[in-house]
């Protein structure tokens, strides 16, 4: 890894950028492709400077078409490359959805291992940036529901730096969600601390009152809520899922067996979602430990609303604390 080049304190965006750089240095088969990723460095500047340093052969602007981006990445993977595709916004992934679910997800299985698909599809997801329609969505459940894909969501700069490298090194297709409203969050990066494996959830804060499971952009929301809850005498155990497929729920089961209470938090609509899945699995594994039903704090089961409504739509500190009160009322 290009250790000396990495600044001490980095933003999440810089973590991704430096992680991509390290992955490209480590393996010349890694390609970065997508709309505006070259000269511009991406609309969020995640690929800033990569084309200058690695050349137009390895970092290239594509025509405007998501099916084309994913479909040609599949062909490049058959050829032995490791493409990293940028989808500009969550709501724009759907023209590429067919290639993702019909081909990218299935070729390893169809070929019984003869055709690995080491392709990473990076998708900025979630709301909170005051954007127009199609720029604030949380489509992760579609992908987590698709066998053959692996799905991860980073929540902080340090994870961003390591997880993008691990995703690129993975021989399976990885849908990589980036919390766009947290791109400018900062954290110190200590390269001496070894990273957690990619497909592991992590306990970020220990507590005894209730377990709160979340991922992506709402991790910070929940951590903020945990600080306030402590002033009320409640200690929340906060778990960042990090991997959405496969799920790593053993730490969640362990936690719920101690706390007896679980709250799941996500920006996505609640019905048939990752929070549904966590609730179902916890009810199966921790039935006799539960002192209350599993509660969920999520976006609503509506399309993403106009931006002026998003403060009400997105789970915030107060809604998390309200759920803590409700889960304790049983």
Partner 1 sequence: MPSRNPPPSHSSPVPVAGPVGLPDSLVGTAMDIDGSHTPEQVIAGLRATGEGEDLVQLLTPEGQRVSHPQFDLEISPAELQSLYRDMVLVRRADREAKALQRQGELGLWAPLLGQEAAQIGAGRAMAPQDMAFPSYREHGVAWCRGVDPTEIFGIFRGIDQGSWDPIGTGFQLYTIVIPNQCLHATGYAMGQRLDGKIGDAQNAEATICFFGDGATSQGDVHEGFVWAAVYDAPVVFFCQNNQWAISASLDRQTRVPLYQRARGYGFPGIRVDGNDVLATLAVTRWALRECRTGNGPILIEACTYRMDAHTTSDDYTRYQVAGELEEWKLKDPLERVRVHLVREGLAESEFFDGLAAEADELAVRLRNYCISMPAPGPERIFSKVYAEPTPTIDAERDDYLAYHASFTDVGGVS
Residues with catalytic annotation? Answer: 135
Establish if 194 lies at the interface with partner 1 (CB under 8 A): no
Structure tokens at 189: 């990066």
Adjacent-strand bridge partners of 82: 30
Question: What are φ and ψ of residue 3, in 5° steps?
Answer: -55, -45
Q: How far is the CB of 33 from partner 1 (least distance, A)?
A: 9
Q: Which among 40-48, 59-67, 204-212, 223-231 is the span making contact with partner 1, rule CB under 8 A?
A: 59-67
**235 lies in the site for partner 1, by CB under 8 A:** no
Candidates 54, 162, 177, 199; binder of partner 1 (CB under 8 A) is: 199
Residues 15-54 touching partner 1, rule: CB under 8 A, are none
Helix (H) or strand (E) holding 158: helix 157-169
- Identify which range of 75-83, 135-143, 201-209, 301-309 contacts partner 1 by CB under 8 A: 75-83
Helix-helix angle 218-231:317-328, to 10 degrees: 60
Q: Does 125 bind partner 1 (CB under 8 A)?
A: no
Give dist(CA 80, CA 203) in Å, integer. Answer: 37
- Contact between 76 and partner 1 per CB under 8 A: yes
Stretch that binds partner 1, among 17-25, 36-44, 121-129, 143-151 (CB under 8 A): 143-151
Q: Taking the complex as a whole, how short is the minimal distance between the CB of residue 18 and partner 1, in angstroms?
A: 24
The residue within the footprint of partner 1, chosen from 102, 272, 293, 301 (CB under 8 A), is 102
84 touches 31 (CB < 8 A) = yes
Task: Give which of 37, 3, 38 is closest to 18, Cα–Cα.
Answer: 3
Classify each residue of 29-56 as buried b or exposed e, where b means 16 or more C-beta atoms within 10 Å of its C-beta.
bbbbbbbbbbeebbbbebbbebbeebee
From CA 298, how far away is CA 308, in angstroms rounded? 18
| 170: contact with partner 1 by CB under 8 A | yes
Angle between helices 274-285 and 250-259 (to 10 degrees): 60
Question: Which residue, among 71, 139, 78, has the nearest Cα to 100 in the 3D structure?
Answer: 71
Using an 8 Å Cβ cutoff, are 79 and 45 in contact? no
Check binding of 251 to partner 1 (CB under 8 A).
no
Stretch that binds partner 1, among 45-53, 72-80, 158-166, 180-188 (CB under 8 A): 72-80
Q: Does 283 bind partner 1 (CB under 8 A)?
A: no
Least Å distance, CB 246 to partner 1, is 4
Q: In 10 A of CB 307, how many CB atoms?
A: 17
242 lies in the site for partner 1, by CB under 8 A: no
**Judged by CB under 8 A, which of 27, 36, 48, 172 binds partner 1?**
172
Q: What is the C-alpha end-to-end distance of the chain, expressed in Å?
A: 50
**Residue 184 interacting with partner 1 (CB under 8 A):** no
Shortest Å distance, C-beta 284 to partner 1: 12
- Residue 110 or 258 having the CB closest to partner 1: 110
74/213 with CB nearer partner 1:
74
Give yes or no for residue 111 binding partner 1 (CB under 8 A): yes
Beta carbon of residue 165, minimum distance to partner 1 (angstroms, whole number): 15
72 counts as binding partner 1 under rule CB under 8 A: yes
Look at residues 197, 200, 230, 204 and name the one whose alpha carbon lies nearest to residue 219.
204
Determine the Cα–Cα distance for residues 189 and 69; give it in Å rounded to an integer: 32
Q: Residues 173, 64, 61, CA angle at the centre, nearest 5°? A: 75
* Residue ranges binding partner 1 (CB under 8 A): 57, 62-63, 65, 67-68, 70-81, 95, 98-99, 102-103, 107-116, 118, 147-148, 150, 170-172, 199, 246-247
């Amino acid at each position: 890894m290009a250790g000396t080049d990495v600044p001490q304190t980095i933003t999440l965006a810089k973590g991704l950028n430096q992680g991509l750089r390290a992955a490209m240095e480590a393996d010349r088969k890694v390609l970065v492709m997508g709309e505006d990723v070259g000269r511009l460095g991406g609309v969020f500047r995640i690929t800033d400077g990569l084309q200058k340093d690695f050349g137009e052969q390895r970092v290239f602007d594509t025509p405007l078409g998501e099916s084309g981006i994913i479909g040609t990445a599949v062909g490049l993977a058959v050829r032995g490359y490791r493409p990293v595709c940028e989808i500009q916004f969550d709501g724009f992934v759907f023209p590429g959805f067919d290639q993702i679910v019909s081909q990218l997800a299935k070729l390893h299985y169809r070929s019984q291992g003869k055709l690995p698909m080491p392709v990473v599809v990076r998708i900025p997801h979630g709301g909170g940036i005051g954007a127009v329609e199609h720029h604030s969505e949380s489509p992760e459940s579609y992908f987590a529901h698709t066998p053959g894909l692996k799905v991860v969501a980073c929540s902080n700069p340090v994870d961003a730096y390591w997880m993008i490298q691990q995703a690129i090194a993975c021989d399976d297709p990885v849908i990589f969600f980036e919390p766009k409203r947290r791109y400018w969050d900062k954290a110190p990066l200590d390269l001496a601390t070894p990273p957690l494996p990619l497909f592991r959830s992590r306990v970020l804060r220990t507590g005894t009152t209730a377990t709160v499971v979340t991922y992506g952009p709402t991790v910070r929301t929940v951590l903020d809520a945990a600080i306030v809850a402590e002033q009320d005498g409640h200690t929340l155990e906060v778990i960042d899922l990090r991997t959405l497929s496969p799920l790593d729920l053993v730490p969640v089961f362990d936690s719920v067996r101690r706390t007896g209470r679980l709250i799941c938090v996500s920006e996505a609509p609640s019905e048939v979602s990752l929070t549904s899945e966590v609730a179902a699995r916890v009810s199966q594994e921790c039935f006799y430990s539960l002192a209350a039903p599993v509660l969920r704090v999520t976006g609503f089961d509506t399309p993403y609303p106009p931006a002026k409504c998003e403060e009400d739509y997105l789970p915030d500190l107060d809604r998390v604390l309200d759920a803590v009160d409700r889960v304790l009322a049983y």
